[in-house]
Amino acid sequence: MLDDPFETDAVGADIILRSSDNVDFYVLNALLCIGSKASFFAHLFADSKPSETHNDLPVVSLFEHSDLLRPVLKFCYPIDAPLLETIAEVKAVGEVMQKYCLDFALKRLQRTISKSALIKKEPLRLFALAVHNGWKELGEAAARCSLAFPLDQLMPIPELALITALDLAYLIEYHRECSRAMGTLVETRSPHSWGISMRWLGAQEATKKLLFRQAAWCSWCKCRLSYRIHIGETHGQGDVHNWATAFVETAVAQLIRKPSPDTVLNDVLLGNTIVQSIQECNSDAWKSIAYGQIQLLAHLLADQVEKLVSQVPLKIVWPVENSES
């Protein structure tokens, strides 16, 4: 794909956008109008002729610097999305897109940032920025990513000045409801059953993938199994070493504070569990599969966390999208 499709020999270019620092961008106007009939560029010369031309193309002078226009225009084109590494870049690019009603590009920007490393690092700042600008897709993604950070560690950030106390209260309520949903992951059984219950975990997944078995003795180290995980609505069960129930209970305890799939997939938690499992089952056969089995259990738990969180609404009132976009 082209890194910069705006040179003088750009194929199909029918308009020149001139930046404030006099850099010319040769662009295809139709790509600027995708997804929005209200685009600034859709009606540029509907009632008048261009006041300036260059290389037989109309020239439109804009107030933005070329360093800002370039990523904005790249989001309009079917090429790789540009990398935005700071909140300031996201803010500047997004607000230019809003200014010129580049709805398709703005949606693409939100999708791109929602999958970026930046949203994992700065979810609260992006949440506030998105709420302020009415960017629903990015705002909801940022709220989900913020679940990886306990709100009792909330620090003052400048973007919070952009939103109302009610908006922040909705985010706090969202965290609280997601934390409450984590309580459905595990039921502690009576002391006589030496285990826990995970009704959401299908018996087929547990026995075929996780090698859970209803057996009093470990298949690998031949030690007696003193703990049990009850699975499925039909109360199937698998006998396990202590590490399995300890992992789930530790994960759920952490999820109450940080109800995010990332909490379950934390390297420290997984590493400690692998070490504990090998201490309890010191068999070469188990050592060879311990990492994969514990990763699988963690991902099954993380998938259920994602499912529960997806059912919790964020009650922010977003602006109605333009019906023409």
Where, residue-wise, is CATH 3.30.710.10 in the chain? 1-115
Task: Encode burial over 276-285: b for 16+ CB neighbours within 10 A, e otherwise.
Answer: bbeebbebee
- Can you give the pLDDT at residue 201? 83
Secondary structure element (H or E) that encloses residue 25, with its range: strand 24-27
pLDDT > 70 in the chain, percent = 89
Strands 57-61 and 187-188: unpaired
Q: Which two tokens stand for residue 85?
A: 């590494």
pLDDT confidence tier of residue 280, bands split at 50, 70 and 90: very high
The mean pLDDT value for 177-185 works out to 96
Mean pLDDT highest for which of 13-17, 42-46, 50-54, 204-208? 13-17
Question: Which CATH topology does 1-115 take?
Answer: Potassium Channel Kv1.1; Chain A (3.30.710)
Is the distance from CB of 86 to CB of 125 less than 8 angstroms?
A: no
- Can you give the pLDDT at residue 1? 46
The mean pLDDT value for 64-69 works out to 98
- Can you give the pLDDT at residue 64? 98
Q: Identify which has the larger pLDDT, 201 or 164.
A: 164
- Can you give the pLDDT at residue 212? 66
3-state secondary structure of 215: coil
- Class of residue 127 by CB neighbours under 10 A (exposed 0-12, middle 13-18, buried 19+): buried
Q: Which residues pair with 27 in a beta bridge?
A: 15
- Can you give the pLDDT at residue 194? 64
- Can you give the pLDDT at residue 228? 81
- Can you give the pLDDT at residue 323? 47
Secondary structure element (H or E) that encloses residue 18, with its range: strand 15-18
| Whole-prediction pTM | 0.89
State the virtual CA torsion across 72, 76, 80, 83 in degrees, nearest 10. Answer: 20
- Can you give the pLDDT at residue 86? 98
Distances (CA, A) of 268 to 251, 260, 265, 286: 11, 15, 9, 20
Neighbours of 291 (CB within 10 A): 14
CA distance 192 to 321: 57
